Chains A and B, each alone.
Chain A
Amino acid sequence: MAKAKIGIYWAAACGGCDCALLEVNEQILDVVAAADILLWPCAADPKYSDLRGYKNGEIDIVLFNGAIRTQENRELAQLIRTKTKYLVAFGSCAQSGGVIGLANQSSRDEIFSTVFGDQANWPQLSSNQDGYDLHLPEFLPRLTNLAEVVEVDYVVPGCPPPKQIVSALFTALVAGDLPATGTVFASSKNLCEECSREREQLKITQILRPHAHESDPDKCLLDQGFMCMGPATRGGCLAVCPAANMPCTGCAGPTANIRDQGAAMLNTVASLIGTGEEGEDQLAAEDAILAQFDDIVGTFYRFGAATSIFKERYHERNATTR
């Protein structure tokens, strides 16, 4: 049997997803034995021209990590789509925009000012250096996930995808036994199913933040008032963050039967917040707890903002009116 041909690509990414591929340790050797890696900018040196030279559909599968932030990201997503049979959105950014999706709340100029400082330092799309014309890819007006550009066949969630999920993908890949397209390589149930903390479904009487408060290591973080996204988030990572005293931030995306992860979490939290009694005389006390949130979008849509209604900044004059 001919060796499978695979590719790994990074778009707007931090590099963590590429590292996560090696978390499987020696299993990577099985992958290399079973497949030729035709593209992997992080670790090998094939050029884009090599990629263009492949026949359409010649690559069997490409693991695509990172979001679509620049014109280059978009062009490569489209090019890779034509060259591969199966395209995998690998990691939160490819899946749903990821943390960097929150940058859509700032304009291009605001982002450039923060990153490069004075406008004189901003990157120029075209410049001439020593007689050479140099071009940079355009910075798109809004960051998107991979599926907004091209059709995606599989999703491997996580920031970065945890070892056992990557391993499940590699096992399927080496065996040449990929599941039906549309499969998300994680649990269809939520994270709480995998979490060993004891949950009593207590009322949330105060909103705590992990850098400012110590948590009880045995009790449910949500019960204690930490905004743990477990109830709305896919399991599959074996709840490593809660095990390390960090609330789940929701990197694996919504469970199979939720459309909007942040909205689902918002519902959960709104139902749990309270003084223990419900009644008209409790409303002011509830409002005092609700007022302790200072970044709803950043908390509940940390990885999914780019694929929600919060995918861009709006400019209504009275946006702060109550």
Chain B
Amino acid sequence: MDKTHATYEPRIVAFLCRWCSYAGADLAGVSRLTYPANIVPIRVNCSGRVDADMVLSALEKGADGVLIGGCHPGDCHYVTGNYKTRRRIVLIKQALSEVGIDPRRVHLEWISASEGIKFQSTMTSYTELIRELGPSPVRATKAPVHG
């Protein structure tokens, strides 16, 4: 680990659908499962509500990773919202890859309301992955072009 990583704590924004993944987070909570405090959960009504601008804005504003949690295929409360977000994430990841950003900084995971343990393990492993990747290059301090 180099010097810049020594004091690095990943900042991760998690958009969680209220019917599945956010309920999964609640279950993890009432089950007293612990997971890293690097996750900033934001409740959305459906993973399909998470538009590309929300993901890119999070990265632009300094998130090191963005996690989207939705219902398993077939389980979406709004029937097809999770499929729409899945396609969106595929395109976002490709766009990030094109400009040299590790696409793993955006991650989609299906977590149901009964999967408190999966919520815990996903948050833990994703935090570790983002810790390994280091600070996002988007928030790396660079001299402004017009100083």
Bound state CA distance, A279 and B104, in angstroms?
24
Report the minimum CB–CB distance from A148 to chain B (whole Å): 6
Bound state CA distance, A148 and B145, in angstroms?
9
Interface locus among B2-10, B13-21, B30-38, B83-91? B83-91
Report the minimum CB–CB distance from A262 to chain B (whole Å): 8
- Tell me the residues in window 42-65 of chain B with beta carbons closer than 8 Å to chain A beta carbons: 51-53, 56-57, 59-60
B91 and A269 contacting across the interface, CB-CB below 8 Å: yes
B138 and A318 contacting across the interface, CB-CB below 8 Å: no
CB < 8 Å neighbour of B53 from A260, A316, A321, A322: A260
- Tell me the residues in window 68-96 of chain B with beta carbons closer than 8 Å to chain A beta carbons: 73-74, 79-80, 83-84, 86-88, 90-96
B90 and A319 contacting across the interface, CB-CB below 8 Å: no
Report the minimum CB–CB distance from B87 to chain A (whole Å): 4
- CB within 8 Å for A148 and B146 given contacts A273-B87, A315-B100: yes
Q: Is the interface of B mostly helix, strand, loop or mixed?
A: helix
Chain A CB within 10 Å, residue with most, of B51, B52, B86: B52
Query: Chain B residues with Cβ under 8 A from A29's Cβ?
Result: none
A321 and B80 contacting across the interface, CB-CB below 8 Å: no
At the interface, yes or no: A286 with Cβ under 8 Å from chain B? yes
Look across to chain A and name the residue whose beta carbon is closest to the beta carbon of B52: A263
A260 and B56 contacting across the interface, CB-CB below 8 Å: yes
Bound state CA distance, A297 and B88, in angstroms?
14
A322 and B95 contacting across the interface, CB-CB below 8 Å: no
Bound state CA distance, A273 and B80, in angstroms?
13
At the interface, yes or no: A177 with Cβ under 8 Å from chain B? no
B94 and A296 contacting across the interface, CB-CB below 8 Å: yes
Query: Chain A residues with Cβ under 8 A from B103's Cβ?
Result: 319, 321-322
A316 and B91 contacting across the interface, CB-CB below 8 Å: no
A293 and B91 contacting across the interface, CB-CB below 8 Å: yes
A-B contact number at CB 8 A: 122
B88 and A266 contacting across the interface, CB-CB below 8 Å: yes
A309 and B59 contacting across the interface, CB-CB below 8 Å: yes
- Tell me the residues in window 105-141 of chain B with beta carbons closer than 8 Å to chain A beta carbons: 133, 137-138
At the interface, yes or no: B99 with Cβ under 8 Å from chain A? yes
Query: Chain A residues with Cβ under 8 A from B80's Cβ?
Result: 278
User: Binary interface profile of A, 186-222, with partner B (CB < 8 Å = 1, else 0)?
Assistant: 0000000000000000000000000000000000000
Bound state CA distance, A148 and B144, in angstroms?
10
- CB within 8 Å for A290 and B91 given contacts A318-B104, A319-B103: yes
Chain A CB within 10 Å, residue with most, of B59, B87, B146: B87
- CB within 8 Å for A279 and B97 given contacts A142-B145, A270-B84, A321-B103: no
- CB within 8 Å for A105 and B99 given contacts A260-B56, A270-B84, A287-B90: yes
Bound state CA distance, A175 and B82, in angstroms?
53
User: Binary interface profile of A, 280-322, with partner B (CB < 8 Å = 1, else 0)?
Assistant: 1011001100100101110010000000111011111111111
B87 and A286 contacting across the interface, CB-CB below 8 Å: yes
A309 and B145 contacting across the interface, CB-CB below 8 Å: no
Bound state CA distance, A312 and B138, in angstroms?
9
Look across to chain B and name the residue whose beta carbon is closest to the beta carbon of A74: B146
- CB within 8 Å for A308 and B56 given contacts A297-B95, A314-B137, A319-B101: yes
The 6 closest A-B pairs by CB, nearest first: A263-B52, A314-B100, A280-B73, A263-B53, A270-B88, A314-B137
The contact sample of 23 A-B pairs, CB cut-off 8 A, is A144-B145, A149-B146, A259-B57, A263-B51, A264-B52, A267-B52, A279-B83, A283-B73, A283-B83, A283-B86, A290-B87, A296-B95, A297-B98, A297-B99, A310-B99, A314-B101, A314-B138, A318-B104, A318-B133, A319-B100, A320-B97, A322-B103, A322-B104
